[in-house]
């Protein structure tokens, strides 16, 4: 089985948490379906992650991109020379990061810096 580096696992966790906060604040609960969390992170998300189809697609895209990121250590995406996200997803993930980042700062989650990705 493929194993992820600690850096990848941390980034997946940030992606999942940010997209989940955004989806749960903005989208219809009835539209949410179970999201397939990467195997290494299943223990952290034992209760499962539920997202609407749009947010799930965005998160799958982000995880796939991070999985393939050739840069180690990975720079924050704002300072990256590659810009691997497609234009549409890039705009969307920025919105998600900004929204959820503000939420987490309001909740005192200063361990999450909202410019972690963008």
Task: Determine the interface stretch with Zn ion among 47-55, 64-72, 82-90, 103-111 (rule: CB under 5 A).
Answer: 47-55
Total length of the chain: 118
How far is it, in rounded angstroms, from Cα 105 to Cα 88?
26
Residue of 27, 44, 74, 109 interacting with Zn ion (CB under 5 A): 27
Residue of 14, 52, 58, 77 interacting with Zn ion (CB under 5 A): 52
Give the shortest CB-75-to-Zn ion separation in angstroms: 28
Task: Determine the interface stretch with Zn ion among 10-18, 52-60, 79-87, 100-108 (rule: CB under 5 A).
Answer: 52-60
| 50 CB burial (10 A radius; 0-12, 13-18, 19+) | middle
Residue placing its CB nearer to Zn ion in the complex, 82 or 91? 91
How far is it, in rounded angstroms, from Cα 40 to Cα 43?
7
DSSP three-state, residue 48: coil
Contact by Cβ (8 Å): 40, 10 = no
Give the shortest CB-91-to-Zn ion separation in angstroms: 15
Residue of 23, 59, 63, 93 interacting with Zn ion (CB under 5 A): 23
CA distances from 83 to 44, 50, 62, 86, 115 (A): 29, 28, 12, 8, 15
Task: Determine the interface stretch with Zn ion among 23-31, 74-82, 92-100, 108-116 (rule: CB under 5 A).
Answer: 23-31
For binding to Zn ion (CB under 5 A), which residues are involved?
23, 27, 52, 55
């Amino acid at each position: 089985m493929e194993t992820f580096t600690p850096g990848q696992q941390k980034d997946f966790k940030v992606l999942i948490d940010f997209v989940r906060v955004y989806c749960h604040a903005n989208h219809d609960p009835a539209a949410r379906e179970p999201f397939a969390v990467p195997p290494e992170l299943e223990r952290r998300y034992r209760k499962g992650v539920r997202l609407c189809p749009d947010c799930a697609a965005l998160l799958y895209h982000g995880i796939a991109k991070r999985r393939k990121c050739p840069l180690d250590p990975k720079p924050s995406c704002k300072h990256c020379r590659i810009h691997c996200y497609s234009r549409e997803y890039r705009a969307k993930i920025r919105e998600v990061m900004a929204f959820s980042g503000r939420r987490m700062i309001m909740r005192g989650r200063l361990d999450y810096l909202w410019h972690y990705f963008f």
